[in-house]
Structure 1
Amino acid sequence: MTTVTTRTVTYPADGLTMVGHLALPAGDGRRPAVLIGPEGPGLNDFQRRRADALAELGYVALAFDLHGGRWFTDPEEMLARVTPLLADPDRMREIGHAALDVVRAEPRTDPARMAAIGYGTGGAIALELGRDGTDLRAIGTVNALTTGRPGEAARIRCPVWAGVGSEDPIMPPAQRDAFAAEMQAAGVDWRLVVYGGALHAFHHPPVDQNVVPGVGHHPKHARRAWQDIVALLTECLPVTE
């Protein structure tokens, strides 16, 4: 197993002091970098471990923050913050660009080789970075088939991979169709994988919190979605010495 180095990073965004988790691969050379955006409740150890796993594969990885170090256990409190955020592309982009700035400032990062992946709200932020014309090599989202402002998807400069559960009531078939139509009309290199029988947030292990209806873990598809994301990065953002 490759030795990785991790540290907590703080940085300003959205009027808050964000608390991210940066994982660095072994060695001292420059490496491609990946942003990891968490789901609506915020950054927790699950996404921190994802950053560590990507660092093991040779990437500089930042699991970024959404809520100034908070992780919401109350769904209503979480939705009160996340709902207006998801309705405001400029706020989402601000959060994403602030995280990108942290990654770019890391000496181990090759700033010409970066990608953004995310889950739920974090995936919506990854997509908005693409719609903002950010120079990314790949965008990967799980449970985030959000559509953007008209015409802005044409600014996406990289392949987009998206995964969703077939039984996700938060991202239902109509939302899938709208996302696909937006990507296709914009000429994006896009893929959508529908995981049969999976609910919303199927990727996330059970946690000790109140869970909204339509949310549930699907271990088999969670593994498959992670493998698909790693395959996307391997294709579009290979680690080279």
Structure 2
Amino acid sequence: MTTITTRTVTYPADDLTMVGHLALPAGAGRRPAVLIGPEGVGLSDVERRRAEALAELGYVALAFDLHGGRYLGDPDAMLARCLPLLASPERLRGIGYAALDVLRAEPRADPGRTAAVGYGTGGAVALELGRDGVDLRAIATVNALTTGRPGEAARIRCPVWAGVGSEDPIMPPAQRDAFTAEMQAAGVDWRLVVYGGALHAFHHPPVGHTVRPGVGHHPRHARRAWCDVVALLAECLPVTE
């Protein structure tokens, strides 16, 4: 197996000290770089493993933090933190820019070849970076079909891939329609994959705490969604020596 290295990185954002997980591929040369944003509960071993999996594929990957090192397993605490974030594009962008600065400052990362992958609230961060005109090669978002302020989607400069469960009550068909209408009106190169029978956060392995209604793991679609994300990166951000 390819030898990768990992380290914890701390950095300021949203008046907090964020604690991210950086994974570096084998070798010494510069490689394309990927941000990975977590669900609203916050950074966990799930995203850390995804960063490491991308490093094994040759990417420099940073799983970024949302809550200053906290994991919000209580649904009420998670909503109390995330709902104000989701209502503030500026705060989402601030969290994203802070992580992006860390990623692009890494000597192994090629700052001109980056992508953003996000889940839930982390996906909203990725989309807001795109709406602010950040030079990204690809954006992938899973169950985060958030819409932006009028006209701002026209600033997105890269393909956007989105995945959602057909039975997700938090991202229902009306939200899907609003998101795709926004992308289409802005002339974005977009794709939406609807995974039949899947709930919200279908990609996330089961957790040992209470979750919101409508949340549930779907192992088969979780694997498929990961393969779709990897395929997007291979298309838009290929690893070359």
Superposition TM-score, scaled by structure 2 size: 1.00
CA distance in 2 between counterparts of 1:184 and 1:217 reads: 30
Aligned to 1:89: 89
Please tell me the residue identity of whatever aligns with 2:101: D
CA distance in 2 between counterparts of 1:117 and 1:150 reads: 23
Please tell me the residue identity of whatever aligns with 1:75: P
Aligned to 1:144: 144
Aligned to 2:41: 41
For residues 163-182 of structure 1, the aligned pairs below 5 Å read: 163-182=163-182
Structure 1 alignment gaps of length 5 or more = none
Please tell me the residue identity of whatever aligns with 2:186: A
Segments of 4+ in structure 1 off by > 6 A? none
CA deviation string 1:10-58 (max 9, x = no partner): 0000000000000000000000000000000000000000000000000
- The Cα of 1:104 is off from its aligned counterpart by 1.0
CA distance in 2 between counterparts of 1:209 and 1:183 reads: 35
For residues 1-241 of structure 1, the aligned pairs below 5 Å read: 1-241=1-241
CA deviation string 1:219-241 (max 9, x = no partner): 00000000000000000000001
CA deviation string 1:196-219 (max 9, x = no partner): 000000000001111110000000
3-state SS in 2 of match to 1:100: helix
CA distance in 1 between counterparts of 2:10 and 2:211 reads: 29
Alignment RMSD (CA, Å): 0.3
CA distance in 1 between counterparts of 2:45 and 2:135 reads: 28
CA deviation string 1:116-145 (max 9, x = no partner): 000000000000000000000000000000
CA distance in 1 between counterparts of 2:67 and 2:209 reads: 17
Q: How many residues align?
A: 241
Superposition TM-score, scaled by structure 1 size: 1.00
CA distance in 1 between counterparts of 2:100 and 2:147 reads: 22
Structure 2 alignment gaps of length 5 or more = none
CA distance in 2 between counterparts of 1:149 and 1:209 reads: 34
CA distance in 2 between counterparts of 1:67 and 1:128 reads: 18
Q: Percent identity?
A: 85
CA distance in 1 between counterparts of 2:168 and 2:73 reads: 20
CA distance in 2 between counterparts of 1:103 and 1:121 reads: 19
